[in-house]
Every structure is written in structure tokens, then in C-alpha cells.
Amino acid sequence: MTFQLLRRRYEQLLEAIVLILMIALTVLVIVGAAFRYLGNALTWYDETASIGLVWLTYYGSALAALRGAHIGVPGLVNAMPPALRLVVTLIAEAVVILFFVLLAWYGLQVVIVLQGEHMITLPEVSSQFTQSVIPIGATMFVIAEILRLPDVIRAARGRGFLDAETLEAMSHGAPDATGSTGAH
Amino acid sequence: MTITIMLIGMIGLSLINVPIAIALGFVAMAAIALIQGPSMLPDLALEMFNGASSFPLLAIPLFILAGAIMNASSISRRLIAFASSLVGFVRGGLSMVSIGTSVFFAEISGSAVADVAALGTILIPAMKSRGYSKEVAAATMSSAASLAIIIPPSIPMILYAVMAQTSTVKLFVAGIVPGVLGAVAMAGAAYYQAVKYDFPAEQRFRLSEVWRTGREALWAFILPVAILGSIFGGIVTATEGAGMAVLASIVVGGFIYRDLDFRELKKACIDGGIQTAVVMLLVAASALIGTFLTEAQLPQALGHAMTSITTNKYLVLLMLNVAFFVLGMFLHSAAAIILVIPIVMPLVHAIGIDPIHFGLVVTLNLAIGQQTPPVASVLMTSCAIAKADIWDTTWVNIPYIVALVAVLLLCTYVPFVSLGLVHLFYGG
């Protein structure tokens, strides 16, 4: 498998996770609100939904890392000459990777310590399962960061980096975003 | 002392383009290891989990999704047709239509970038074909879209409410009057430009046309108003209202209008997830730093420093306005809220500024910040669609920015503009 294909497959995996989490959260909130309105509130709904948002945060962050979408301040780095920019960028990448490696490691410690604990409102679900998002999500972030490294080095040597807002703007500014053609 | 070193570390790492969230997390991690000892480091993992766990903030992905679903159906086209029948007869008709449609769209969407993408792709080419320069088209659409975050629902308002520990719902209500005033002020700026560049009117005003387009856009009106009504009335929370908005937009797009583009929808869903994650990672990391800020009493120190200069509420508001205006030029709006609000809130409380009133002031500043380069997401989206230069467009955008600043100053110094409706609805 080529590097590009591996990267594409990894992106598709993360996209699938994010898509499932978005749908699950939406359904959960709607069902939860409906039950509460009917006077039969689901006790576990707030806690589960909040944990779902944590999951979306870390799996979505890994996907954002792969796309270089995290909010940063690239102005100063872009103003540097390419040689210096490359050195500084590699230091920045090292900081990011080190942080998530350590977060994964200590997240794993937490998961081990939580043996036997469970959710407050849903005792069937162990806290080890809910907290697993930190070590797994952090590891997936590190993989995403490594997969994007060739792009980052190319950008550092070339014209520099776009900031998150410009990327967001570009993703929305696509000419096919009119939405006027129906699926039917 | 510790906090000074930490601040230098965070700024230093951010300046070498470490994402802000990770710069905060890294510095907090170093501080925990050095001050509390490495045995406390598992707390970092726990805090990064707890910091992202929030029921109120769940409204953010849901409102993003609801707006995206509306975009993936024919709702924008229907709202544009209705706005044309209402205000198309005025000189500079298409500018008026852009502003009018943005007012309607703002009840569905909480993100100005999403608005400009949905409406700009239709209205900017239309304006260009009617002889508007690409800069005018980009500037008009960009400024009109800023209404999305002033008129509820609003993603920056949800973030502010959580960070400032105040009511999202009251903040939503407080945005209604300033939003309408903003639309009127911008319509004035649009009229000035229409006369200056001699733009045409679009169509004659006919009641039959208003009736016809109004009926076609009916659902796009009724549902958002019903959902906002349920939120304001306390029947549902803001998060549940956001869930209802998703459901409603699926029903309208998929079953009533029957023109949902599912491929577009899937992409929007994933993009919405990413946008949420980026904001939430910052929220979680800022919670880590917050503990140290509180220990060092930095927000209180800032409060004392400011109050030793002046205790005049309006002078302090002026200073905060200038600070947020400058921040808005250089910082992503979500980042500005997450980083700055926890630090300035003790000052805001000490001076006796109503946190809802201040929330409106912050939101308006960020709406302007999204128009002022170098960092200006909404303007950049608009310019990308119009293929216009950002700085040339900014020059043309000045009358609109002046209109928004006028509304900001009015809201800052006449609290009744934002708080009047809140007091009417909820007393106090």
C-alpha cells in the first residue's frame, strides 16, 4: 500500500467515526428531549450525551490534525526564510507529537486505575470504556500528525501555512456548495 | 511568577505555529510535572476528558448540522426568492436581498461562515451579473452574513455563555434587537453604495409575488421560529432545541421539499464534526490552564489593575471594546472567546456590567472581527466565492463595518437595546 493510499484509508476511517458520532449524538438528544417532554425522562441521557461530545472532540481532533485544521497562528512562521521555517516547524511538530504521546500514556494509566468503575447514571457501562477515548484518540492524533508530516515539510519549504480560518473558508467556498441540485 | 513563565511559554509555542490548544496543554503538562510532580500527570488525562464533557456545548455541533442540512436543500433559494419579493424594488435591490435573506437565514444558522457559503454562492454571481463589482458583491454578502451570529441561534453566544457561566437563552434573546438594528444599518450602507455606483432595482413590488414566494418559503420560516420560541419559552434547553432544529431541517428538506442532497449532507456532517472538535479541544485545554490562572489570581489582578485606573463602567467597556476589536483582527473568534472571557469576567462582574449585556458586546465585536483581515473567516469565504482580493474588498466593506460599529457602540452604551427584551421576557 502506498503512503498516499494509507493516508486516504486512515482519513476515511476517521471520517466514518466522526459521522457515526455526529448521527448518534443527534439521535440521542432528540430522543432524550422527546422522553423528557413525555414526562418519562431518561436519567442517563445528559451524562451519555456529554461523554459523546468528548468522543467527538478527540476523534474529530485526530481528523482535524490530518487536515491541518487546528486553530494556530502561522503568521510569524510564514514570515521566516524557508530554511529557518523548516527547523521551527519540526520543533513545533515535535511538541505536538510529544504532548499526545504523553497524553496517550497517562490516559492509559487512568484507564487502568478506573478498573471496576462505571458511569453514574448507566452502571452497565464501565468508565474504562468511556475514558478509553483519551489514550485511543491521542494515539490516533499522533498517527494523523505523522501521516501529515510530508505535507507539513513541503509547506514549510514552500510557501508556508494557511491558518485554520482560511482552510475553513476554503472548505465552504467550494463552488459545488450551492445545494440546489436534489438527490431525487 | 509561574504564571508569567506559563504565559510566555504559551505565546512562544503559539508563535511557532503549535496549535493554540496544544500550546496550552503542553505548558500545563510541564507545569504539573514541575510543580506538582510527575505522579500528578494522570490528572492531565482526566482533566482533558472532563474539560470536553459539557451538555450545553453539545448545542454547537447540532446547530452547525441543522444549518448544513438546510444548506443541502432548496431552502436558501426559497428564502432568496421571498426576500427579493419584499425588498427587491429598492435601489441596489440585490444588496437589500442579501441583507434580507441573511436576516431570515440567521434564525436557522449560528455560523456566519456557513451563511456566506450558502447564500454567497447564489447571490454573489447574481450581483456580478447585474453590474456590481466583485469587491462590492463580496463585501455586501460578507457583512450581511455577520447577522448569523448576532441573531439567534449563535455559536459564539453558546461558547460565551458557557465560558462566562451565564444563560445561553437570555443571550439569544438579547441578540434579537441588535440583529435587526444591524440589518437596518447595513441596508443604509447598501443604499449609500447603490446611489454611489448607480445600482439598479430588481423588480416591482407586487403583493401577489410576496404571497407566492412567501408560501413557498413558509416552512423555512415557521420551523426556526417555532424552535426558537420553544427555547425562549423554556420548553426545551438550547441543546434540545438544536436537536429539534436538526430533526426539523431533515423533515423539511427530505420530506416536504424533497430535495436534500445527501452527499453534500454527509460532507457537512463530517466538516461540522471537525469544527466542533477543534473548538472543544481548545475548551478542554483552556480548562487545564484555568486551574493555574485561578491559583495565581490573574483575573483578579487584572480586575484590580483596571479598576485602579478607572471604575467608570463605560470607560472600561470602551477599553474592552478596543481590546476585542484588535483581537478580532488576529484571532479566530472561538479562540478569542475561550482564551479571553475567563480572564476578563471577574473584572466585568466587579465593575457591575451585566454579563448578558457584555456577551452581546463581545459577539458584535467578533462579528466585526470576522470582517477585518488578516484573520477574517467570513470575509475570506466571501472573497473566495467572488474571486475578489481581500484588501480591495475590505476597502469597499468600510461603510458596512462602520454600520456594524455604530450598532456595537449603541449596544455598548445603551444596555436597554440588548437587555430590554430580556427583562420583558424574564423580568429583572
Smallest CA–CA separation between A5 and chain B, in Å?
20
**H or E segment and range at residue B14:** helix B2-15
Burial B204-237 (b: 16+ CB within 10 A, else e): eeeeebeeebbebbebbbebbeebbebbbeeebb
- Helix (H) or strand (E) holding B226, with range, is helix B218-232
Q: Are the Cβ atoms of B118 and A103 closer than 8 angstroms?
A: no
Residue from B29, B39, B49, B283 whose CB has the most chain A CBs within 10 Å, to mutate: B49
Q: Which of B40, B116, B236, B274 to substitute to test the interface with A, most A CBs within 10 Å?
A: B274
Q: How many beta carbons lie within 10 A of that of residue B188, not counting itself? A: 15
Residues in chain B: 428
Considering only the beta carbons, identify the residue of B13, B118, B274 that sits closest to A69.
B274
Per-residue pLDDT of chain A (184 residues; tens, 9 = 90+): 688 999 999 999 999 999 999 999 999 999 998 898 888 888 898 899 999 999 999 999 999 999 998 988 888 888 889 889 999 999 999 999 999 999 999 999 999 999 888 898 888 889 999 999 999 999 999 999 999 999 999 988 887 787 666 666 666 544 333 322 223 3
CB contact under 8 A, B260 and A182: yes
From A181's Cα to the closest Cα of chain B, the distance in A is 7
Among A97, A102, A103, smallest CA distance to A144 is for A97
A177·B335 Cβ contact <8 A: no
Q: How close does chain A come to B121, measured CA to CA in Å? A: 6
pTM attached to this predicted model = 0.89
Those residues with Cβ within 8 angstroms of residue B91's Cβ, 6 or more apart along the chain or in another chain: B191, B194, B195, B199, B200, B201
Return the amino acid letter for B302: L
How far, CA to CA in Å, does B99 sit from each of B113, B209, B373, B405? 15, 19, 21, 17
pLDDT per residue of chain B (428 residues) written in tens, 0 to 9: 778 888 899 999 999 999 999 999 999 999 999 988 889 899 999 999 999 999 999 999 999 888 888 777 788 889 999 999 999 999 999 999 999 999 998 988 888 888 898 899 899 999 999 899 999 999 999 999 999 999 999 999 999 999 999 999 999 999 999 999 999 999 999 999 999 999 989 888 999 999 999 998 888 888 888 899 999 998 888 999 999 888 888 888 888 888 888 888 888 889 889 999 999 999 999 988 887 887 778 888 888 888 888 888 888 999 899 999 888 888 888 888 998 999 899 899 988 999 999 999 999 999 999 999 888 889 988 998 999 999 999 999 999 999 999 999 999 999 999 999 999 998 86
**Cβ–Cβ under 8 Å, residues B123 and B132:** no
CA distance B188 to B12: 44
Cβ of A173 and B117 within 8 Å?
yes
d(CA B150, CA B299): 27
Q: Which residues face A118 on adjacent strands?
A: A126
Candidate from A60, A177, A183 with C-beta closest to B121: A177
User: Exposed e or buried b for every residue in A25-54, given b needs 16+ CB within 10 A?
Assistant: bbebbbebbeebeeeeebebbbbbbbbbbb
| Cβ neighbours of A181 in B, within 8 Å | 261
C-alpha span between B381 and B120 (Å, rounded): 9
Chains A, B: CB contacts under 8 A, how many? Answer: 258
Mutate one of B11, B14, B22 to test the A interface: name it (highest A CB count within 10 A): B22
